Structure 1
Amino acid sequence: MTAINNTTLRHLPPDILVPAYERGKVTPGIAHISVGNFHRAHQAVYMDRVLARPGQSDWGLLGIGLMENDAEATKARDMAAQDCLYSVTECAPDAPNVVRVIGSITEYMYAPADRAATIARLADPAIRIVSMTVTEGGYYVDENGVFPIDHPVIAEDLKRDVPHTVFGLVTEALRRRRESGAGPFTVLSCDNLPQNGHVARTAFLTWARARDAGLAQWIEENVTFPCTMVDRITPAVHPDDVRRLDAESGLDDRIPVFCEDFIQWVVEDKFCAGRPELDAVGVQFTDNVQPYEAVKLHMLNASHSLLGLSGVLSGYRIVSEIMADLNEVTLVEQYLGLDAEPLLVAPPGMALPEYGRRLLHRFRNRAISDQLLRIASDSTSKLPMFIKSTAMGVLAHDRPAVRIAFVVACYAEYLRGHDDQGQAYTIVEPHLTDEDRKNAASPRLEDALEMSAFAGWELQDNPGFVATYVRLRQSIRDRGTRATLAQVIAGS
């Protein structure tokens, strides 16, 4: 196998696509915080395309690892060993895989090793965009649009001279830029959140006001927070995947990623310090991202939540496997056609039924085999983003809510930590509170509707919904998820 680094880049197997530019001439203009698999398969791929264009060499990526844990420390070492190069395997459902080496990340910093140095790097005038993928729950903004400065993590960080959180790092860098006259940068959220730019603006401005009111006013007047919609199915990469991907490519890559061949990025064109020529490489710029994000969140991501929660309980573990279950497919089709689509306004040129059919085609991609446990993880944060507005719309229009009740029941049962066959699995719910766990485990099944995930849904105000939810949850326990699902899609 061939190692990946700057020295070997031009000597890789001929079927491996390599950067079409001189990496030695690339300098970072974007700092991306939290370099996960999705970023490396999405934004970094678009930037790889941009850097191949004339005059774009100052738009490279500076990757920043934020979380202090062994996995992130290992990633930083692997990035350094490979000169920040890595492979992306793009998997089409009906064509050979395409392997490309991405070179757009030219520097990488592990923030916990030297947070002061990280802040100084963000304060460099060359950095004109700071983007991030910190997960849906990583912004702390609640269902009322409030950023809680009294949250233990936030309150503790506000006391530090050198902050640890993304809010502290970015705000401190902006303070230095204000003082030096370097000017602002754009803060670009790439997370699956409705109106993610507005959410980010709320979080960072609230943090800044708690730290320095004058700085907060300067940020409010000068920094832009564009909304974005991002889409590319990118599974987690386990050790077996690393071995498989390297065997297929012939590369000795410590940090490969794989993803579907589909990719989309819609961005609000609000950049206070300039932007790269992303519109020339397939990114769609618009004055209003909301219709695009609403369709994606309430159709694709919501479908994933339905499949993830019901699938894990049924004993499935990968999406392509569950897509062979006609009842699960019917559940998604009914949810999209009867619950979600009637409440959505399609963006110009988009037909919602066709979008739904394409989703099912993407989900059937066996080469992706996305993990249902990954999809189900952090449902406490995901359900309010993906399901809530549809649930409230269905109830407000007095339409049958059996599919909503089913996914709510599946979430509550998923938190028990074992499937219908008694097989245990690891629950990854970092935003689940002790009170949530108590309500989920209560013998009064309706108490689960008081969990934080359902705050503001008004589910308990609808006796018909509560009765349906209790009936379906008890059915999952008594008869199993698959038998209950058959009942749901039959409309009973």
Structure 2
Amino acid sequence: MTTRLSATSMPLAGVAMPAYDPESCGAGIVHIGVGAFHKAHQAVYTDTAMGLAGGDWRITGVSLRSADVASALNPQDGRYLLMVRDEAGDSARLIGSIAKVVVAPAEPDAVIQAVASPETRIVTLTVTEKAYGIDRATGGVDVTHDVITHDLNNPTTPKGLVGFLIAGLSRRREREAGPLTILCCDNLPENGRLVRRIVLDFAERVEPALAQWIARTVTFPSSMVDRITPATTSQTLQDAERLSGFSDMAAVETEPFSQWIVEDNFAAGRPEWEAAGALFVEDVAPYEKMKLRLLNGTHSLLAYAGFLAGHETVGEAVRNEALRAIAERQMQASAATLPPVPGIDLDAYRAELLARFANRAIRHLTYQIAMDGTEKLPQRICAPLGETLAANGDACAFAFAVAAWMRYCLGVTDDGRSYDLQDPRQAAIAARLDGVPRDADAIFDALSALQDVFPKELAGDPRMRGRVVEALSTILELGMAEAIRVHARRQVDRTRI
């Protein structure tokens, strides 16, 4: 039986090791949402920064739901292998920046204490969009959200992200533990401002004086993160054991590319992440919007259309020449909605994205990316579509993505296999589609009425309706694989006119 990876598993032949002694460094960061992406991104930047500049910046991880990540990392003293895959081969590095992981349902007070600790100077976040409980109409908390409702009524025994933040901040204020930075690392527009608005709204409902203290004491910088990170599989774990000689239940795989752009607004110091390659700027918004619309928006198109066309991975989907052409058209249209992005050549950025998507060494599943569509479409597809129409542009470039999502909402493949939508509004989608015939107009009417996904002015625009219904009709009639080819030809024909 192979020995489990741990702090004593050193050195590992052929594996890059931490350039510092992790156990000699204190924990200064709490990270909520320790998943594959965090382990491939922020934890790696922190590991590199500590190796170069030192500091008590190890990470106390928090899992809001499952104990799996704690069961994987804690017996390994927080150690895990980062495997970087490209077509030239794999490389491996041992990461030591995570000190431990706390499971919120099992140890709720430990989470609150971690946020309240004076040693904690930064709380970072990577959770699903639905975990924030956003009311998209007001920008505050959604008081109809089950977890938000519970936490508002039980502020000292929270279950959700915002509730734990408020409970920790309340205790921090009581103990005079000092200022704090809450750094969102999720794919949300102006994510720092968004989280600040949610936190203050929640706090105001619980205790107005706490909201005032938070406004004075806590900063909420925005950030943009980028690194394609597939879910860990049994193959990931097998390869980690092959490379290290140890059993590693927390290994993660990722691509060579990594980017982190951060607003430099920290209340109590930070690691020297810039030494690890992070870029600190005054305004993250242009970079956020670029990534949301070009990378994430294209990912959504490839996920819905690719999954229904039988492509298991993004790499397979983007190597479909017709689907790639549709993706390129959407990227061009999205780029036209962007403000200037300092230091970025958008043509080169789009070409680099397509090359990254096509990396044969990365198995990024279309079904994985397709989850939570109602949370993702508003900023990835609907926002640039609305701006394009407002400028009297053509909705055609975005229509196929919207139509593909609507077809995906039917929950069955062209050959009759059912699948779960993995969407927080799955029940609402099912209710909208109940009794609706398999007709493009009827499906469009049912789903475009989801106002938290499609604003009224967008759903009611005949130019959008015409293009989406046309694309959806073709998908329903011919099946997704053939519809992709037909739509790509239509794009070429329209371009020639």
Q: Using structure 1 for the length normalisation, give the TM-score.
A: 0.94
Match of 1:367 in 2: 361
Match of 1:58 in 2: 56
CA distance in 2, matches of 1:472, 1:281: 45
- Correspondence 1:48-87 to 2 at 5 A: 48-54=47-53, 56-67=54-65, 72-87=66-81
Match of 1:353 in 2: 347
Match of 1:257 in 2: 252
Match of 1:146 in 2: 140
**Coordinate RMSD, CA, aligned:** 1.7
Q: Please list the CA deviations of residues 9-34 of structure 1 after superposition, one character each: whole Å capped at 9, or x if unmatched.
A: x132x211111111120110000011
CA distance in 1, matches of 2:112, 2:225: 27
Residue 387 of structure 2 corresponds to residue 393 of structure 1: yes
Q: Please list the CA deviations of residues 38-93 of structure 1 after superposition, one character each: whole Å capped at 9, or x if unmatched.
A: 00000000001011124x331111111111xxxx2122122121111111101134
Match of 2:124 in 1: 131
Mean CA deviation greater in 414-423 or 318-327: 414-423
Mean CA deviation greater in 217-226 or 442-451: 442-451
- Correspondence 1:50-199 to 2 at 5 A: 50-54=49-53, 56-67=54-65, 72-93=66-87, 95-144=88-137, 145-160=139-154, 161-199=156-194
CA distance in 2, matches of 1:5, 1:128: 27
CA distance in 2, matches of 1:7, 1:435: 51
Letter in 2 for 1:204: V
Match of 1:214 among 209, 213, 223: 209
For the residue of structure 2 that corresponds to 1:3, the secondary structure is coil
- 2:132·2:161 contact (CA, 8 Å) conserved in 1? no
Mean CA deviation greater in 352-361 or 339-348: 339-348
Uncovered stretches (5+) of structure 2, i.e. residues with no partner: none
In structure 2, do the counterparts of structure 1 residues 313 and 453 end up closer, same or farther at CA, with 3 Å as the change threshold?
Answer: farther
CA distance in 2, matches of 1:349, 1:80: 41
Letter in 2 for 1:476: I
CA distance in 2, matches of 1:142, 1:383: 15
Mean CA deviation greater in 221-230 or 438-447: 438-447
Mean CA deviation greater in 256-265 or 74-83: 74-83
Q: Please list the CA deviations of residues 363-404 of structure 1 after superposition, one character each: whole Å capped at 9, or x if unmatched.
A: 111111210001111111111121122110121122221232
For the residue of structure 2 that corresponds to 1:162, the secondary structure is coil
CA distance in 1, matches of 2:104, 2:86: 36
Residue 46 of structure 2 corresponds to residue 47 of structure 1: yes
- 1:315·1:421 contact (CA, 8 Å) conserved in 2? no
Aligned length: 482
Q: How many angstroms does 1:452 deviate by? A: 4.4
- 2:34·2:69 contact (CA, 8 Å) conserved in 1? no
Q: How many angstroms does 1:244 deviate by? A: 4.1
Q: How many angstroms does 1:433 deviate by? A: 5.0
For the residue of structure 1 that corresponds to 2:280, the secondary structure is strand
- 2:45·2:276 contact (CA, 8 Å) conserved in 1? yes
CA distance in 2, matches of 1:440, 1:356: 36
Match of 1:11 in 2: 11
Match of 2:425 in 1: 432
In structure 2, do the counterparts of structure 1 residues 284 and 219 end up closer, same or farther at CA, with 3 Å as the change threshold?
Answer: same
Match of 1:341 among 321, 335, 345: 335
CA distance in 2, matches of 1:215, 1:153: 20
Q: Using structure 2 for the length normalisation, give the TM-score.
A: 0.93
CA distance in 1, matches of 2:143, 2:187: 23
Q: Please list the CA deviations of residues 183-215 of structure 1 after superposition, one character each: whole Å capped at 9, or x if unmatched.
A: 121011110000000110011111111111100
In structure 2, do the counterparts of structure 1 residues 434 and 323 end up closer, same or farther at CA, with 3 Å as the change threshold?
Answer: closer
- 2:375·2:453 contact (CA, 8 Å) conserved in 1? no
- 1:26·1:58 contact (CA, 8 Å) conserved in 2? yes
CA distance in 2, matches of 1:163, 1:451: 29
CA distance in 2, matches of 1:106, 1:435: 41
For the residue of structure 2 that corresponds to 1:112, the secondary structure is coil
Match of 1:32 in 2: 31
CA distance in 2, matches of 1:461, 1:169: 39
For the residue of structure 2 that corresponds to 1:285, the secondary structure is strand
Identity of matched residues, %: 36
CA distance in 1, matches of 2:243, 2:325: 35
Match of 1:230 in 2: 225
Match of 1:203 in 2: 198
- Correspondence 1:234-245 to 2 at 5 A: 234-245=229-240
Letter in 1 for 2:298: S
Q: How many angstroms does 1:157 deviate by? A: 1.6
Residue 272 of structure 2 corresponds to residue 277 of structure 1: yes
Letter in 2 for 1:65: S
Q: Please list the CA deviations of residues 235-279 of structure 1 after superposition, one character each: whole Å capped at 9, or x if unmatched.
A: 011334323443355331112110001000000011111111111
For the residue of structure 1 that corresponds to 2:67, the secondary structure is helix
Residue 324 of structure 2 corresponds to residue 329 of structure 1: yes
CA distance in 2, matches of 1:403, 1:182: 51
For the residue of structure 1 that corresponds to 2:203, the secondary structure is helix
Letter in 1 for 2:360: R
For the residue of structure 2 that corresponds to 1:97, the secondary structure is strand
Q: How many angstroms does 1:142 deviate by? A: 2.9
Uncovered stretches (5+) of structure 1, i.e. residues with no partner: none
Q: How many angstroms does 1:150 deviate by? A: 4.0
In structure 2, do the counterparts of structure 1 residues 78 and 460 end up closer, same or farther at CA, with 3 Å as the change threshold?
Answer: closer
